[in-house]
């Protein structure tokens, strides 16, 4: 059994635990978790997420698991603004760094009530467990630490699990195990 499979087994144990579901036992910390996995194990993670969402339902655990793919949400928000095609052209014309800066500005990613967080907040209730996916797809346009840093200020009453294709050592994130992101230390590891 791979390390990723072990982590997924631990996640399944956690989501059935009432302390996890009710944000208890965390010393007043927000209940944010990161399940870092080897990017080569993406298909294992994807398959297991589908299984988890079908097995662990509101009927079986009393909580609803909602997956939010941040990459898909970003495109949906850009499309709603009518700028999706312009964004694609901007990357060709101005490069990825400029594009990333502009997307972060448009979605107000430095604000705690940014559009991505608002999108998620509008779709959850107190008996939700949030799964954040798509972090590898959205990189480098929007960084995981930026999402988590703004999100925990708004969404603090439900457990949030970030599925991260890389490494997390309870202090820093490393996308794909190679690309260093800024430090993030508020989340607990699922290992």
- pTM of the entire predicted model: 0.91
Mean pLDDT, 10 residues at a time, the chain of 191 residues: 90 93 68 94 97 94 96 96 90 93 93 92 95 94 88 89 91 76 76 88
For residue 180, the enclosing domain spans 3-189
Angle at 150 between CA 147 and CA 153, to 5 degrees: 135
pLDDT at 28: 57
Query: How many domains would you assign to the chain?
Result: 1
Cα(112)–Cα(137) distance, integer angstroms:
22
pLDDT at 44: 97
pLDDT at 153: 84
């Amino acid at each position: 059994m791979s390390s990723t499979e072990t982590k997924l087994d631990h996640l399944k144990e956690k989501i059935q635990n009432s302390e996890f579901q009710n944000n208890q036992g965390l010393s007043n910390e927000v209940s944010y978790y990161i399940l870092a996995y080897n990017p080569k194990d993406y298909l294992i993670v994807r398959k297991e997420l589908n299984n988890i969402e079908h097995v662990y339902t509101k009927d079986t655990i009393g909580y609803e698991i909602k997956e939010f793919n941040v990459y898909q949400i970003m495109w949906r928000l850009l499309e709603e603004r009518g700028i999706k095609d312009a964004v694609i052209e901007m990357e060709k014309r101005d490069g990825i760094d400029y594009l990333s800066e502009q997307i972060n500005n448009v979605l107000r990613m430095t604000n705690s009530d940014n559009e991505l967080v608002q999108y998620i907040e509008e779709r959850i209730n107190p008996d939700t467990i949030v799964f954040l996916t798509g972090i590898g797809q959205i990189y480098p346009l929007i960084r995981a630490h930026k999402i988590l840093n703004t999100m925990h200020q708004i969404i603090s009453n439900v457990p949030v699990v970030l599925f991260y294709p890389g490494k997390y050592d309870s202090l820093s994130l490393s996308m794909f195990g190679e690309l260093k992101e800024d430090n993030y230390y508020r989340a607990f590891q699922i290992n």
